[in-house]
Structure 1
Amino acid sequence: MSQEVSDYSIYRRVVSQLMQGEEQLPSLPSITLDIRRALSDTQTSIGSLVHLISRDPGLAALLMKHACSALYRQSRQPQSLHEVIQLLGMREVDRITMAHSIKSLFTLHSPAHKQLFVEAWGRLVIKASTCAMLARLLSRITPEHALLASLLSEVGTLAVLSAFKDEAVIPSSELYYKLCREYSKPLSVIVLKKWAVDSEYIEVIRETGHWHFSRNQRLDLLDLVNLALYHALKERHVDSPLPPLQELAAYQKILPPQDFIGENGELSLVISHRGDIQAIAESLR
């Protein structure tokens, strides 16, 4: 047995143990729970929400950046957190709060641990930002809804790292991504059930990467997540065994002229908005 196979067997055992102990999986921060509780209360005023969000400067800054991003075409950008909440609305603030929390859940325990996280997070935010931009350009789904769905679909990718927080040896990038391919989906489902998120997000996870699956005739949340995933794989893994874009069930729902495919096999509208996508991603890093 090669050393790599032996190491992978050890890592698989560690991740399997993580999946069997829910208490080891990351929980949402208390500030996130407080904000989500306030957002679900119809009596909550914008003023009290501003006060609550201000307890988390990182979230306040993210909301401001997001409201000023390429997803919105405002003649006048919001100048205060109060105006940001008015622009985005309560539901979108809730979704961005969740997106912010995902990054803060995973404590980094070593330089190697941090390197794996930074690489994974960079890939996830590009995919999520692509998903948000596709939502704005192609559908009636709000960009924040699409962005959060994309991030939540790979919570398991980050949760895999939780298995190694007490380990002296961290897997190589290659073995880490191999573990993610095997465990990301089931871990994502376990974590999202623990967080009691909408079942819609869990259903998206189950069908992510199933290129030919379709629920209806109109572009839905799963379609956007799959289109974003496809383009992320196409950009980062040139040799990935992907079907031609035109074979995807999601692509077949895009109406002309937005369905134009460039020479590299990607949607031209993704290529032409790559700068905007990068700008959205920067706000999440």
Structure 2
Amino acid sequence: MQSEASDYSIYRRVVSQLMQGEEQLPSLPTITLDIRRALGDPNISRNTLVRLISRDPALSALLMKHASSALYRHTLPPKTLHEVISMLGMAEVDRITMVHSIKSLFTLYSPGHKRLFVEAWERLVIKASISAMLARLLGHVTAEHALLASLLSEVGTLAVLSAFRSERVTPSNELYSKLCQEYSKSLGIIVLKKWSVHNEYIEIIRNAGNWQCSPGHSLQLLDLVNLALYHAIKEHTPTAELPSLQELAAYQKLMPPQDFIGENGELSLVISHRADIQAIAQTLR
């Protein structure tokens, strides 16, 4: 027990040092900044944008996979980047570009580092995929917007790993979880401010997991993120202490039949769309 407390103290010091040195935190790749800048130009031509995106084959492949995923019900899926951009629109291409960048930012430095990242990324992917599917089924927010907000809400969870890139030893799952509980929100806010993302996403970080926070009368982005987080926790940690779904402020905005609950205490919407959620998740793995 003493050894674990001592280890945790050492890891806390490493993470605290990371938070004090912004230059150590991951920066968005140049290609991402170039694409986002181009997408923000109302006069950008489709051909110029296609050439720019084509410089990143992994992003091109992700856009194609995403546009052909369960989020869209097209008889003929798009076959070219031109068609993908036409179908998704500039705002959604921008959001998917950010999703791609988030995963590519956190370079893996050791087997232990990789193990923690893979497990954390899988949990985030399920949560984001549930967010996207709920957005498509419930309306109010686009699926890509919900997907990106859900991922960004836990960017601090991944950023905690950046503290250990020069360390020979990475924390155990238990200590990593404790570090995330203590630091991920504040670290995530620092990272998003560094990236100059919209303040809306920073507010999502602040309020994700606050089950009683639900602004406005209609479903908001935060509601979708919290509903997805709730279901992702139940899936990943069935023994987690959670309130009943009916107690969530976000749930109380749902109307029948959207508010139907299955035997396991989850939304019937989520249960009946498991295959679609997994199909979305597969595009992010």
Does the pair score TM above 0.5?
yes
Alignment-derived partner of residue 143 in structure 1 = 143
Which residue pairs with 1:59 in the alignment? 59
State percent identity of aligned pairs: 75
Cα deviation digits, residues 124-177 of structure 1 (max 9, x gap): 011001000000001221000000000000000000000000001110111111
Equivalence map 1:185-204=2 (5 Å): 185-204=185-204
1:90-239 matches, cutoff 5 A: 90-239=90-239
Distance 1:204 1:112 in 2: 30
What are the ranges of 5 or more consecutive residues in structure 1 without an aligned counterpart? none
Question: Which residue of structure 1 lines up, in the alignment, with residue 253 of structure 2?
Answer: 253
What amino acid is aligned across from residue 9 of structure 1 in structure 2?
S
Aligned partners of 1:109, 1:257: CA distance in 2, in Å?
47
Counterpart residue identity of residue 264, structure 1: N
Q: Give the alignment's TM-score, normalised by structure 1.
A: 0.99
1:35-87 Cα deviation digits (max 9, x unpaired): 00000001111111110000000000000000000100112111111000000
Q: In the alignment, which residue of structure 1 is the partner of 2:71?
A: 71
CA distance in structure 2 between the partners assigned to 1:140 and 1:240 by the alignment: 30
Letter in 1 for 2:280: I
Q: Secondary structure at the match of 2:255?
A: coil
Distance 1:215 1:139 in 2: 16
- Give distance in 2, aligned partners of 1:207 and 1:66: 28
Alignment of 1:254-273 (within 5 A): 254-273=254-273
Deviations 1:21-47 (A, max 9, x none): 000000000000000000000111111
Q: Which amino acid aligns with 2:34?
A: D
Query: How many residues end up aligned between the 2 structures?
Result: 285
Superposed CA RMSD: 0.7
Q: Which amino acid aligns with 2:193?
A: K
